[in-house]
A and B are shown apart, each in its own frame.
Chain A
Amino acid sequence: MNASGVVELASGVLVVVGALVVLSGGVGLLRLPDFYTRVHAVGLTDTAGVGLIALGLILRAPDWGVAVRLVLIALFLALTSPTATHALAQAARRDGVHVWVAGDPRQ
């Protein structure tokens, strides 16, 4: 296998793993019992999954311009996505949403 084949394979693996991570976040959103656990699931997996997908696409970028744009998008998401998750969770806490403990019904 030559060098470009290795890069292509690595990019494919990164994109697929990223998609699976995002999918696991979706499953968590549906399955977890309360607001905080759901936000936790989606917040973590979105940042990680999109980061992996962007990394995979950078390896595939046809030229420098596209690669730089993808790096900027990944940086922007790495900064904003956790911030949005934090703001959501904090707003819920101020609104008095209770934290789920084992044994409570799903909210």
Chain B
Amino acid sequence: MTPEVELINIVLFAILVATAVGITRLRGLYGAVMLAALFSLVIACLFVLLDAVDVAFTEAAVGAGISTVLMLTVLALTRAREAVTPRRRLWPAGIGSVLAGGMLIYASQDLPAFGRPDTPVQSHPVTATYLQASQDEIGVPNTVTSVLASYRGYDTLGELAVIFTAGIAVQLILSQVPRHDPDFEREKLLLTDYRVLRVVSKVLFPFIFLFALYVQFHGDYGPGGGFQAGVIFASGFVLYGLVFGIDTARRVMPGRLLQLLISSGLLLYAGVGVANMLLGGAFLDYDTLNPGHPVDGQHLGILLVELGVGITVAGVMMAIFFICADRRAAG
């Protein structure tokens, strides 16, 4: 590491620690959520310094972007101030955190030094296989995407299933609300009469959605992919719902369509695997999609499963936002 990078690292870590302390000290939860977004952003910067641009992009889009928005939406439903815990009840939690933190610090002594060449991560044969063979076998410039969507396609399918399950669970738990009273002032959460916001966001929407599509389909060539694209798409849509009203957003994206999207993304991913089996290969073996030219088959397979990831992620994020907003409206 050059001294400049080291200096930047030290500054970023100092900001990170200060932010973490700030989050624990703040009683106002809106402020804490904003600090949590800052925390994610600083971590994303650290990932960029480690050359992990795909991870940094995900952290920025998910941690600083959509999860902040969803947390704020949830805060609108509950109290925005942390309850004061009596001091004597803080002791057990304090002792627990000190013990857990001490154990982590003790365990971190065994971690190899940064960039050491003889660690399993560097010396395991599968690393060389992924880094060298992926250009011939899969031919996608971004090796992260070929690992994520092809070599480790099962893992990604599992992650997508987790997101799908979480989305369904949140809807099942939160959708049991009485139908709302039409006189209830439901627009309070919304920004519908901020004219400047309306005009500016109207100008920006096409570009937000275009950027989401770019991230979706450019994931083979640079940082990006289904997860980030889905989250960006959902953020754009949440902005639309906040500025133009939940009812308008519902008209654009009816609940039934949303449910269809959530399940069809996962079905598309798993369906590609089933199609591979029908064509005589293993589950998620994209080579079979184009037997004469396996690299083209891999491209097509990765494109389809990334699309599935993007659709389900976007659908789940939008559904969670709608559920919280509706609950607010129902009081």
Contact = CB atoms under 8 A, between A and B. Distances in A.
Interface string A58-78: 000000000000000000100
Nearest to A79: B200
A90 B207 CA distance: 26
Nearest to B207: A76
Contacts, number: 18
A68 B181 CA distance: 51
A87 B194 contact: yes
B196 A79 contact: no
Interface residues of A: mostly helix, strand, loop or mixed? helix
A83 B200 CA distance: 7
B204 A80 contact: yes
A86 B196 contact: yes
B103 interface: no
Interface residues of A, number: 7
Interface in B72-91: none
A87 B196 contact: yes
Contact of B194 (A76, A79, A80, A90): A90
B330 interface: no
B196 to A, nearest CB: 5
A79 B196 CA distance: 11
Interface string B228-239: 000000000000
A35 to B, nearest CB: 14
A90 B197 CA distance: 11
18 contacts: A76-B204, A76-B207, A79-B200, A79-B203, A79-B204, A80-B200, A80-B204, A83-B196, A83-B197, A83-B200, A86-B196, A86-B197, A87-B191, A87-B194, A87-B196, A87-B197, A90-B194, A90-B196
Given A87-B194, A90-B196, 7 more contacts: A76-B204, A79-B200, A80-B204, A83-B196, A86-B197, A87-B196, A90-B194
Interface of B: 191, 194, 196-197, 200, 203-204, 207
